[in-house]
A = this chain, B = another copy of it.
Amino acid sequence: MSNRMNGQWRLKSRPIGMVKESDFEYVEEPVPELGDNEFLIRNLYFAFEPAMRGWLNDVKSYVPPVEIGEVMRAGTVGQVVESNNPDFSPGDFVQGQLGWQEYGINDGKPSMMGAVSKIPEGIPPYLVLSALGGTGLTAYFGLLDVGKPKEGDVIVVSGAAGATGSVAGQIARINGASKVVGIAGGPEKCAWLTDELGFDAAIDYKSEDVTARLAEECPKGINVFFDNVGGDILDSALLNMAQNGRIVLCGGISSYNEQELPSGPRNYMQLVIRRCTMEGFIVIDYLHKAADAIKVLSEWIESGELKHGEDIQEGIENTPKTFLRLFQGKNKGKQLLKIAEPPL
């Protein structure tokens, strides 16, 4: 046992309805000694995403739920500080799913959520939690492989100022959409979409009639709707789809904290009338193609075509609070928490 202490946020109780800070508890335990092939990582950043809310429910899903008393599962970036593994040396920056804790131990073997891997040099390490990680890949495969946009399509993204939405909308533009419209909450986010990220228009769902504004911005209908939100916004999009349009179901943040499953999309029969497709996907099915996608995303970032945005909070004490920002609509771009400076 080393004399390092490891601060951890563990799941204390399953949230009912809106997740609360008190659903997690902070504990410290000594960092164990490393075994054969193991290496010790000091985490620097935690990544937050809406799907994590689903992992807190005791239901069968695409990954098992986080158990009560378990360290909260989350994407992390850190630096190797000790190593018994020939492939990982102290000083290496690595990404993984080490969860909400200061230190993680790993042996480099693949696990359910992917393997711990080294971060390429020359980029800010946290970028692999954002546009060059699961977020960027979700936007990339969701828009291109599921949405299958054609040159000249009109593309609408909900949750457009969020991590995935902001990247998806920019990929749509780069890929040749004739118009990209983002739906987001509040004038600041909307201005960010049009002024900095190159969206053609933004609709503020908090102050505008989304159905009417979509009809105005997309008079010939929406060819691809990339949905992160669900609820009324999905229903508004259904009323504005073009014939043979595609709805990409990436997420449905509007319902993740509901105690009872809310009403589904009332207007779903528009899928028949307008001959549309609604398709769900999970990015882990595309990981075998991730390397090529990361290469493309990196080039777009380097050339300045693709802008990445992060909302970086600080301090491990603020972990649950930072998670809640997602559901309060506070984050612009990827929600991250910086818990330490590079130690080496």
Contacts and interface: CB of A to CB of B under 8 A. Distances in A.
Interface in A257-309: 261-282, 285
Nearest to A61: B273
Interface stretch (A27-35, A202-210, A245-253, A320-328): A245-253
A267 B268 CA distance: 12
A230 interface: yes
Contact of A264 (B249, B263, B273, B280): B263
A230 B281 contact: no
Nearest to A241: B280
Contacts of A313: none
B279 A277 contact: yes
A264 B261 contact: no
B275 A266 contact: no
Contacts of A285: 275
Interface residues of A, number: 32
Contact of A280 (B62, B262, B271): B271
Contacts of A275: 279-282, 285
A278 B269 contact: no
Nearest to A255: B269
A281 B279 CA distance: 15
Contacts of A252: 269, 272
B263 A271 contact: no
Contact of A279 (B62, B270, B278, B282): B278
A249 B280 CA distance: 16
Given A276-B279, A280-B275, A265 B265 contact: yes
Contacts of A263: 263-264, 266
A278 B281 CA distance: 12
Nearest to A262: B266
Nearest to A247: B278
Interface in A203-251: 230, 235, 249-251
Interface string A50-91: 000000000001100000000000000000000000000000
Given A266-B264, A267-B264, A276 B272 contact: no
Given A263-B264, A271-B280, 16 more contacts: A230-B269, A249-B268, A249-B269, A249-B271, A249-B272, A252-B272, A255-B269, A263-B266, A264-B266, A264-B267, A268-B278, A271-B278, A272-B281, A275-B285, A276-B279, A276-B280
30 contacts: A61-B273, A230-B269, A249-B268, A249-B271, A249-B272, A250-B272, A251-B272, A252-B269, A252-B272, A261-B266, A261-B267, A262-B266, A263-B263, A263-B264, A263-B266, A264-B264, A264-B265, A264-B268, A265-B265, A265-B268, A268-B268, A271-B279, A273-B282, A275-B279, A275-B280, A276-B280, A277-B277, A277-B278, A277-B279, A278-B279
